[in-house]
Amino acid sequence: GENVEQHPSTLSVQEGDSAVIKCTYSDSASNYFPWYKQELGKGPQLIIDIRSNVGEKKDQRIAVTLNKTAKHFSLHITETQPEDSAVYFCAASNENSGGSNYKLTFGKGTLLTVNP
Amino acid sequence: DAGVIQSPRHEVTEMGQEVTLRCKPISGHDYLFWYRQTMMRGLELLIYFNNNVPIDDSGMPEDRFSAKMPNASFSTLKIQPSEPRDSAVYFCASSYSGGGRPQHFGDGTRLSIL
């Protein structure tokens, strides 16, 4: 099955700096890669996702890059703000695997702290 | 629009008791997922349904765990008998197969088994 590794497990940055979180996956058939943000006491919320037919996607201060050859993808947050502090999860799935195509495998998460 | 609704938000019970967690997915979504989150193991998929039918229950840890989806707007996850190692946060998520497939999570049930 799919295995997703996520690094770092904790990340502390100063407000205004950039933050980068990296994930690698094992199944070369995976083609859908979402990122979730989880705030304390809440469920994970989708913030951005990317499919294997593109290499980069941006949404305001958030961007995700994908390198299918190396089987890794990254989340980039620019101009970080204290409200960006949360746990971030990457995930991967194969949307073409028939009945299991909605099965997401999650990384272990990154606790991001943005210091004012 | 209402998101995924889970109840109860917190549950504290003694070992050996039956525990029932409830989930109402987003209206119109045809996939429903149950996850368990712990510090040690992260987010684990337990089971998921498509159109109320269980598709993959390979993540269900033991026979003590069971899940049902009697209709498109309700699902339960039951643990009987409960054990202290079942203590975790349990999340329900739903998605719409025709809409780009992102999963929408509820805010979870924090379960403590004493």
Whether residue A94 is predicted with pLDDT greater than 90 in this model: the reply is no
Whether residue A24 is predicted with pLDDT greater than 60 in this model: the reply is yes
Nearest to B56 among A89, A95, A100 (CB): A100
Cβ distance of B108 and A89 shorter than 8 Å: no
Confidence category of residue A110, pLDDT binned at 50, 70, 90: very high
Amino acid A97: pLDDT = 58
User: Considering only CB atoms, which chain B residues are within 8 Å of A95?
Assistant: 101
Cβ distance of B43 and A106 shorter than 8 Å: yes
CB-based contact, A103 to chain B, within 8 Å: yes
Q: Which segments of chain B have a pLDDT < 70?
A: 1, 98-100
Residue B49, both tokens: 């349904």
User: Considering only CB atoms, which chain A residues are within 8 Å of B50?
Assistant: 99, 102
Confidence category of residue A53, pLDDT binned at 50, 70, 90: confident
Whether residue A9 is predicted with pLDDT greater than 60 in this model: the reply is yes
Question: Of the candidates A35, A6, A42, A28, which has an alpha carbon nearest to the alpha carbon of residue A104?
Answer: A35
Amino acid A98: pLDDT = 58
Nearest to A49 among B42, B50, B102 (CB): B102
Q: In the predicted model, what is the mean pLDDT of residues A38-50?
A: 94
CB-based contact, B74 to chain A, within 8 Å: no
* Best residue of B31, B101, B109 to probe chain A, by most A CBs closer than 10 Å: B101
Cβ distance of A46 and B55 shorter than 8 Å: no
Q: How far apart are CA A40 and CA A31, in angstroms?
A: 29
Amino acid A56: pLDDT = 93
Q: What is the widest separation between alpha-carbon atoms in chain A?
A: 47
Question: How far away is chain A from the Cα of B83, in angstroms, using its nearest Cα?
Answer: 23
Amino acid A2: pLDDT = 87
Amino acid B4: pLDDT = 96
| E strand spans, chain A | 4-7, 10-14, 19-25, 32-38, 45-51, 56-59, 62-67, 72-77, 86-92, 105-106, 110-115
Tens digits of residue pLDDT in B59-88:
998 899 999 999 999 999 999 999 999 999
Amino acid A99: pLDDT = 53
